[in-house]
Amino acid sequence: MARVCQVTGKKPITGHKVSFSNKKSKRRFLPNLQVKRFFLVEEDRWVTLKVSSDAIRTINKKGLLAVVKDLRAKGVAI
């Protein structure tokens, strides 16, 4: 599976690594992804998601059921 957050869609971006002498070389900034299991009370089952730390805060704010409904509306199999 790619390094993409299932909730927010965050993915790696590119930039420069800058040395002390100010030479620049290409590098990748990876999102802070975690594989987390959440218990979905309404369906009485565990759901495993690959989410960023920002998405964990979104789940805490909106609720797991609302996030899962949005994902299913987008066509993500959960």
Domain boundaries of the chain, sorted by first residue: 13-74
> What's the pLDDT score for residue 78?
86
* CATH number listed for the domain at residues 13-74: 2.30.170.40
Q: What is the pLDDT of residues 13-72, one digit of tens each?
A: 999 999 999 999 999 999 999 999 999 999 999 999 999 999 999 999 999 999 999 999
Tokens for 42?
């309404």
3-class state of residue 54 by DSSP: helix
- For 8-42, letters b (16+ CB in 10 Å) and e give eebeeeeeeeeeeeeeeeeeeeebebeeeebeeee
